[in-house]
Amino acid sequence: MSHVTSGGGVSSDIVTAAQLDSEAAAQRGRVEVRALHSHQELTESRAVWDAVWPTFPGATEITGNLLRAMEHAGGYVGGAYVDGRIVGSCLAFVGRTRGEHGWHTHLHSHVAAALPGFADRGIGTALKLHQRAWALRHDIDRIVWTFDPLVRRNARLNLVKLGGIGVEYLVNFYGEMDDALNVGDESDRLLLQWDLASSRVSDALSGQLAPVSRAEWLALGATDALVDTGDGPRFLGISSPVLLCAVPDDIVDIRRMDLPLAKVWRRQVRATIEPVVAAGGRVVGLTTDGYYVVEVAS
């Protein structure tokens, strides 16, 4: 269920509730979150991304002129501040998705990050909820973004805390990446769809989308498609309407310590999820012990 008016806009009660959700998240994270516009603010936001994804000297994630153009053209740049210092930032631009009923306007969230030392205080959630409130005020009811399906902490935020759904598996989406976090690996991404005015999102934000364990899903009739053996992943096959797919505990650490094993994880998760999602399936959750919950299309 979604809360959209007959004229296509978002109902005022949802906009108001989204603003309250945003303010509460900022308070929990002890940050001030605001939309950024000035040259100084945009420069600060770029510095956050360059600090989180370091590349070779002189390189940058987003050039200043491109960032300015996207913001001026109606895109979103948000920043999280602690005592007047920026500690997190997020960039999104307006896009379109072609569906069965024509084109659907959405916000594509391209990059979001918090500085080292600030990542575990809810700043990511505060940024996303500020972005949600901003989008709804501008009559945009959907945000999409990509994330590495091997990064479990991001999957938990995106699927469980925010209530998004994985709708497309993108193989090596960005090609070769040379930043310190991704170098040496292929850039597979899961495309997340966040329907901002939906009851699923409202339930997630109120804590009603609480995850359960892998064992509980198995008891309900789900089957293991990919399991973690302790020495790496093992594919078991696709054999039920609901599949469970293991996600490594810390792929960044595995990539640093054992790159061949990281590549095995990449290939096995891809082989498990990509064909199911390509056939209309969806990634709808993450268990408490780190398994994706994947619904197969009927």
Buried b (16+ CB within 10 A) or exposed e, 46-67: bebbbebbeeeeeeebbeeeeb
- C-alpha to C-alpha distance for 58 and 186, rounded to whole angstroms: 24
Residue type, 272: T
Q: Please, are residues 165 and 116 in contact by the beta-carbon 8 Å criterion?
A: no
Give this prediction's pTM. 0.92
> DSSP 3-state assignment of 8?
coil
Which pLDDT does position 177 carry in this prediction?
65
Tens-level pLDDT at each residue, the chain (298 residues): 555 543 457 889 999 999 999 999 999 999 999 999 999 999 999 999 999 987 777 789 899 999 999 999 999 999 999 999 999 999 999 999 887 788 999 999 999 999 988 878 899 999 999 999 999 999 999 999 999 999 999 999 999 999 999 999 999 998 876 655 566 679 999 999 999 999 999 999 999 989 999 999 999 999 999 999 999 999 999 889 999 999 999 998 998 899 999 999 999 999 999 999 999 999 999 999 999 999 999 8
Residue 84 has phi, psi (to 5 degrees) of 80, 0
Residue 179 has what pLDDT?
59
Architecture of domain 10-138: 3-Layer(aba) Sandwich (3.40)
> Sheet containing 76-82: which strands, arranged edge to edge?
32-35, 76-82, 85-99, 102-114, 142-147, 189-195, 165-170, 282-286, 291-295, 242-246, 223-228, 233-235
Cα separations in angstroms, 164 against 145, 171, 259, 283: 10, 20, 30, 9
| Domain layout of the chain by residue ranges | 10-138
CB contact at 8 A, 180 and 57: no
pLDDT at 79: 98
pLDDT of residue 298: 85
Q: Indicate the SS3 state at residue 85.
A: strand
